[in-house]
Amino acid sequence: MKKIIVAILVMVVALGSVFAQGGVEGQSVVINKDKPFVFFNRQPSDPTTGVIDMESMNWNDKTFYVGFDAAGGGAVQGKLILDYLATCDASIDRNGDGTIGYVLCIGDVGHNDSKARTQGIREALGTWNGSTDPGKAVAGKVTIAGKTYKVVELEGKAMTGTDGSTWNANAATDAMSGWATKYGKQIDLVVSNNDGMAMGCLQASNYPAGVPVFGYDANADAIEAIGAGKLSGTVSQNVDAQATATLQVLRNLVDGLTGSDVWTKGISEPDQYGNKISADMEYVASTKALLAKNAGVNADNWTDYKAGSRDTGIKQSTAPVKKILLTIYNSGDNFLSSSYLPALYYYAPLLGIDLTVVQGDGQNESSCLDKFTNLSSFDGYAVNMVKTNSGRDYLDKLKY
């Protein structure tokens, strides 16, 4: 009798384990640690050195990153600024001292994208000295209307909110107010690592009228601000391509695709349902990263980037519905909340994806991790971390 009871208990435990992982009679069971996992917008990396965390990227053969060409984007922003200055005359030097002074809003000193944008700005203006840290710029030079001007970064500052959140627009407003008071007519140019902070600068009550300001992201409000002559330029990181690629890679993985099919089907060539992203994407095998290209946006082409258009290469498919759990590091992030998330919600049903989104507070990883639960109920996961060195915190939860 004891042997029978033991046998029954073993069977119950085994069946419980199967059903806990979503097992159904006649279907193979995929345990959580073997399911598709896509990092997006923030690739796992060391916040100090920027080195990619390949241990996290190699969690399993279904782990990938989807983002954009950060280094290339920094260069695009730098060129955008130089192209603007090339159209200026001596009046850009507001106090006539022969120096172009600028202030810089840094998003997050530990974020690879922020580092790349800061580097691109400093390289373009000649103030690059091998470091993206605040206060590490050197004197540069630029030619305007045939005259060479000295370029000085008056101040660069990481925009961290009172709650600890980074890329904070309110912090940028406060910083700009202080800069305008402190530096006065020494400020000839304002540059930001993203649109949210650039728009925050414009909210300062004492923002110096007529001073050009550049952002990054091509958010809807920034595009309209360019059209209104308030913002001088921004960079589109092609949010529709990024959002669709995040979903498409997951779609390919849950459909069982392997090898190059994972990053080409529906991306550089049509998938089995007839979908294909229109924008160019680049796959970097060494870091398992699929990257969207960037484009400069200014007064000449801003109407091409107005809100309302979606990729016509993505249409309703007959793909069987799969459930994906997705985290966003900060519900208050302007780019993710106003651009990326709406795109995800638009494309997910077209690709047969039932999306569950959890959003954090931008400061504590637990605000996302505590909601990264019921993992066996999902076919795959997409994660946008609060901190770039938190990849293993999410992956470790898939062990159980």
Q: Residue 114 sits in a domain of what CATH number?
A: 3.40.50.2300
| Shared domain check, 231 and 104 | yes
User: Do 180 and 328 share a structural domain?
Assistant: no
Residue 250 located in a structural domain: yes
The predicted structure's pLDDT at residue 28:
66
Report pLDDT for 396: 97
Residues 214 and 303 in one domain: no
Match 């898939």 to its residue by tokens.
398
User: How, if at all, do strands 281-284 and 322-328 pair?
Assistant: unpaired
Would 18 be classed as within a structural domain? no
**Shared domain check, 228 and 88:** yes
The pLDDT value given to residue 112: 86
Number of structural domains (the chain) is 2
Q: What is the pLDDT of residue 66?
A: 98
Cβ burial of 150 (10 Å; 0-12, 13-18, 19+) is middle
93 occurs within a structural domain: yes
Residue 256 φ/ψ, nearest 5 degrees: 90, 10
- pTM assigned to the model: 0.79
Determine, yes or no, domain membership for 356. yes
Alpha carbon of 347 to those of 7, 248, 255: distances in Å? 48, 9, 17
In-domain check, residue 28: no
3-class secondary structure, 281: strand
Per-residue pLDDT of the chain (400 residues; tens, 9 = 90+): 444 444 444 444 444 444 444 444 445 688 999 999 999 999 999 988 889 999 999 999 999 999 998 888 999 999 999 999 999 999 999 999 999 999 999 999 988 889 999 999 999 999 999 999 999 999 999 999 999 999 999 999 999 999 889 999 999 999 999 999 999 999 999 999 999 999 999 999 999 999 999 999 999 999 999 999 999 999 998 999 999 999 999 999 999 999 999 999 999 999 999 999 999 999 999 999 999 999 999 999 999 888 767 999 999 999 999 999 999 999 988 889 989 999 999 999 999 999 999 999 999 999 999 999 999 999 999 999 999 999 999 999 999 7
Is residue 183 a part of any domain in this protein? yes
DSSP state letter for 116: H
Q: What is the pLDDT of residue 176?
A: 98
Q: Is the dihedral of CA 119, 120, 121, 125 positive or negative?
A: positive
Same domain, 205 and 266: no
Three-class SS of residue 252? helix
Q: Are residues 62 and 129 in the same domain?
A: no
**For residue 302, what are the domain limits?**
36-68+240-276+289-399
Q: How many CB atoms lie within 10 A of CB 384?
A: 22
User: In this structure, are 175 and 231 located in the same domain?
Assistant: yes
